[in-house]
Amino acid sequence: MAVSCLGHSDADVKQAIVEQLDRIPFTQTPFYTFDLAEKLADLLTGRAPGNLDRVYCACGRSEATEIALKMARPPLVEKGQPEHGHMRIRRQSYHGNTLGAPAARENQWRRTEIEPQLFETHHIAPCCEYRDKSTHETSEEYGKRVARTWQKIVELGPETVMGFTAETVVGAAAEALPPVPGYFNRIREICDR
């Protein structure tokens, strides 16, 4: 669904698929690698902030979400901080269809039937300039205001926070909703602190 914007039967996309099939279509990524995965890893780490220099390739959004959730807690337990067990999630995000991924989304109609099986999460407002920005504030001021809701939640119990997850551009759950400039920079500062 996320790549449908590339079009249907696009000649360049089809040619890229054929060329990759001629090389190697897929490998079990924890044990093997291939050139496109390495190029993607270099691209991502080259653009990542700070010391984020590792990439784990997954087959899709659900698997990527599950892996991220599993990777967040062990380092905290190893540091003797087992109370860090809660995820903070932006509302109107969609993270996949497995059991952990629905816990990381707020859409209640998608959660109701499996609610008892989900781990506890806390949700903050999405960065939706179109609906929520005041006429008296700039886009950047709005982004900082929305980020402060995350800061307030963290301040209520930073010792319990395991992580924060958000779609950088919300897709199906909120109609291609991009963040305002500076929003994720402020979120990063709060997480670092």
Q: Which residue has the higher pLDDT, 157 or 29?
A: 157
**Is it the case that residue 44 has pLDDT exceeding 90?**
yes
Residues 106 and 31 in one domain: no
Residues 101 and 154 in one domain: yes
What is the tens place of the pLDDT at every residue in 166-192?
777 766 666 677 888 888 888 888 887
pTM of the predicted model over 0.85:
no
How many domains is the chain partitioned into structurally?
2
Q: How far is CA 118 from the centre of its chain?
A: 18
Q: Specify if 65 maps to a domain.
A: no
Residues 89 and 28 in one domain: no
Residues 126 and 166 in one domain: yes
CA nearest 74: which of 63, 60, 85? 85
Residues 50 and 87 in one domain: no
Q: Which residue has the higher pLDDT, 75 or 171?
A: 75
CA distance 24 to 191: 39
CA distance 126 to 89: 9
CB atoms within 10 A of CB 58: 14
Give the N- to C-terminal CA distance of the chain in Å, as an integer. 36
What is the tens place of the pLDDT at every residue in 90-130?
766 666 667 666 666 555 656 666 666 666 666 777 778 88
Domain of 37, in residue numbers = 11-57
Q: Specify if 129 maps to a domain.
A: yes
